[in-house]
């Protein structure tokens, strides 16, 4: 994201596109509540669409065939004129500007990546990439240099002199993306850009787009019929059905709080492991002690949490490591008042934005619930194995049951304090020094 990340580059308000005769009458009927299939002689492709796309975000429009998503993107690039409503691109309502102004916006502010590549077959790869710069009047030496720079960026170094026919489908689509990037426009429109590719190549292209976005911070409007693709790519997603936008939200919003039954049916089959992150499912840490606490406080914390170990944090909640009940018990027996000497630097940690599919190995390896830390290594939550499994279960409203393995309560030796303590007092009756308090 850039410093202007809250700037709105694309805004649609009450947007309609109706094909046929007496289209404005049809719009009035739609506004009055007439259903889409109740109109005679016209086709309502987009109905009352309103949304905003901010600078630097990937805004995905998702829907099945006939939902209106392709018509919507053609309205954004000016190929279809709106029947009603407004569509603002960089503060200019393109429903009210001249053809010349529209061409200027297309040339300097919007680029398009097509589903079937749309490369010029008799031009080399580098000439294809440089073509938008040629239209902008850039000198040949400059545009070739820029094109080669972009080819390096998309992983096509050394392929500049080849013809498109000599490249694989995935490589051709990389050329299409490179051509769009070479124009250096603010807005990148991608209409089913990866749907013609084989699944493995498609996934590779999705990952590369995310990597490119981290470097370039383009404003991308991405059209797809694939919910998993939408969930993987989108900062926000607009779900369309029968010409209407039925929900706009983050992937997590749509997955965990679908607006209606239609959206809910979609999310039941989504690959949750690639969408939900650690921050979406983490819980408040319980087995946690402060580095200033004494061993008795550490033992009490572990006993209350039914755990044989605990995480240790400093006053700023930076994760220092773990302490085990046996080590804390030894300190009690020795009369020690600090736990610093037995802290182990073996904490299994994940980042808050790690997706769930990356958490399985850490969850298996960790003797505690996996620790979730932020960019400053502060402990922000934990993920027990049972929580991780439950998060990957059936979606909202599903009647399917998920069977989880029972997690045994970890063995603990805290109760040995009752028998082994020097004064024989029950642990609960001890007076804990204020310096030990968490």
Residue of 355, 65, 76, 77 lying closest to 224 (CA atoms): 65
Asked whether 253 and 234 are in contact (CB, 8 A), the reply is no
Structure tokens, 332: 């009690």
Phi, psi of 344 (to 5 degrees): -100, 135
**Does 408 or 74 have the greater pLDDT score?**
74
Q: What is the pLDDT of residues 282-312, one digit of tens each?
A: 999 889 999 999 999 999 999 998 889 999 9
**Does 371 or 397 have the greater pLDDT score?**
371
Burial of 348 (0-12, 13-18, 19+ CB in 10 A): middle
Q: What is the dihedral of CA 361, 366, 369, 372, to 10 degrees?
A: -70
User: 289 vs 71, 301, 343, 369, 428, CA distance in Å?
Assistant: 57, 7, 11, 14, 18
Q: Do domains 8-274 and 279-436 have the same CATH topology?
A: no
Residue 8 has pLDDT above 50, yes or no: yes
Residue 434 has pLDDT above 60, yes or no: no
Task: Please give the Cα distance from 9 to 155 (Å, whole number).
Answer: 29
Homologous superfamily in CATH for domain 279-436: CBS-domain (3.10.580.10)
Task: Please give the Cα distance from 104 to 137 (Å, whole number).
Answer: 13
**What is residue 419's predicted lDDT score, i.e. its pLDDT?**
43
Residue 68 has pLDDT above 60, yes or no: yes
Residue of 324, 333, 298 lying closest to 420 (CA atoms): 333
Other Cβ atoms less than 10 A from the Cβ of 351: the count is: 15
**What is residue 16's predicted lDDT score, i.e. its pLDDT?**
96
Q: What is the pLDDT of residues 111-141, one digit of tens each?
A: 888 877 788 889 999 999 999 888 888 898 8
Burial call 79-110: b when 16+ CB within 10 Å, e when fewer: ebebbbbebbbbeeebbeeeeeebeebbebbb
Q: What is the pLDDT of residues 180-235, one digit of tens each?
A: 888 888 899 999 888 878 888 888 888 888 888 988 899 999 999 988 899 889 99
Chain mean position to CA 362: 21
User: 178 vs 65, 126, 212, 233, 407, CA distance in Å?
Assistant: 28, 9, 11, 18, 51
**What is residue 56's predicted lDDT score, i.e. its pLDDT?**
93
For every residue of 288-349, DSSP letters joined together read EEETTS-HHHHHHHHHHTT-SEEEEE-TT-BEEEEEEHHHHHHHHHHT----GGG-BS---E
Phi, psi of 318 (to 5 degrees): -70, 130
Q: Who contacts 238 (Cβ-Cβ below 8 Å, separation ≥6)?
A: 51, 59, 60, 61, 62, 245, 247, 248
Residue of 129, 192, 198, 150 lying closest to 170 (CA atoms): 198
Does the domain formed by 8-274 have CATH 3.40.50.1370?
Answer: no
For every residue of 81-99, DSSP letters joined together read --SEEEEEETTEETTSS-H
Q: How confident is the model at residue 393 (pLDDT cuts 50, 70, 90)?
A: low
**What is residue 255's predicted lDDT score, i.e. its pLDDT?**
86
Question: Residue ranges of the domains in the chain?
Answer: 8-274, 279-436
Residue 378 has pLDDT above 80, yes or no: yes
């Amino acid at each position: 994201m850039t410093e202007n990340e809250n700037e709105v580059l694309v805004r649609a308000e009450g947007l309609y596109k109706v094909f046929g005769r007496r289209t404005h009458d049809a719009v009035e009927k739609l506004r009055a509540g007439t259903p889409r299939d109740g109109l005679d002689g016209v086709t309502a492709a987009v109905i009352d669409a309103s949304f905003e796309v901010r600078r630097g975000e990937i805004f995905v429009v998702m829907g099945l065939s006939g939902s209106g998503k392709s018509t919507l993107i053609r309205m954004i690039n000016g190929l279809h004129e709106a029947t009603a409503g407004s569509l603002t691109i960089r503060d200019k309502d393109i429903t009210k500007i001249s053809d010349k102004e529209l061409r200027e916006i297309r040339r300097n502010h919007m680029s398009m990546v097509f589903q079937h590549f749309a490369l010029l077959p008799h031009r080399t790869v580098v000439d294809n990439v440089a073509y938008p710069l040629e239209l902008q009047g850039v000198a040949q030496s400059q545009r070739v240099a820029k094109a080669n720079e972009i080819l390096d960026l998309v992983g096509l170094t050394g392929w500049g002199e080849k013809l498109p026919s000599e490249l694989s489908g995935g490589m051709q689509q990389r050329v299409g993306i490179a051509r769009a990037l070479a124009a250096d426009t603010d807005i990148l429109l991608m209409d089913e850009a990866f749907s013609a590719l084989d699944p493995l190549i498609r996934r590779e292209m999705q990952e590369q787009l995310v990597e490119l976005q981290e470097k370039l911070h383009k404003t991308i409007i991405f059209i797809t019929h694939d919910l998993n693709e939408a969930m993987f790519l989108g900062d926000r997603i607009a779900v369309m059905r029968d010409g209407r936008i039925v929900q706009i939200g983050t992937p997590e919003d749509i997955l965990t709080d679908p607006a209606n039954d239609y959206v809910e049916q979609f999310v039941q089959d989504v690959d949750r492991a690639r969408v939900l992150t650690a921050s979406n499912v983490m819980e408040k840490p319980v087995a946690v002690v402060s580095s200033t606490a004494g061993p008795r406080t550490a033992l009490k914390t572990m006993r209350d949490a039914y755990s044989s170990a605990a995480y240790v944090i400093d006053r700023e909640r930076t994760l220092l490591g773990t302490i085990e009940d046996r080590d804390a018990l030894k300190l009690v027996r020795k009369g020690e008042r600090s736990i610093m000497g037995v802290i182990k630097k073996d904490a299994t940690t994940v980042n808050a934005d790690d997706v769930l599919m990356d958490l399985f190995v850490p969850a298996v390896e960790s003797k505690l619930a996996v620790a979730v830390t932020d960019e400053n290594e502060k402990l922000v939550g934990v993920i027990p194995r049972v929580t991780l499994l439950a998060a990957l279960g059936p979606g909202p409203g599903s009647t399917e049951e998920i069977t989880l393995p029972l997690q045994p309560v970890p063995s603990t030796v805290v109760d040995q304090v009752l028998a082994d303590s020097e004064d024989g007092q029950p642990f609960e009756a001890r007076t804990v020094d204020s310096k030990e308090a968490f």
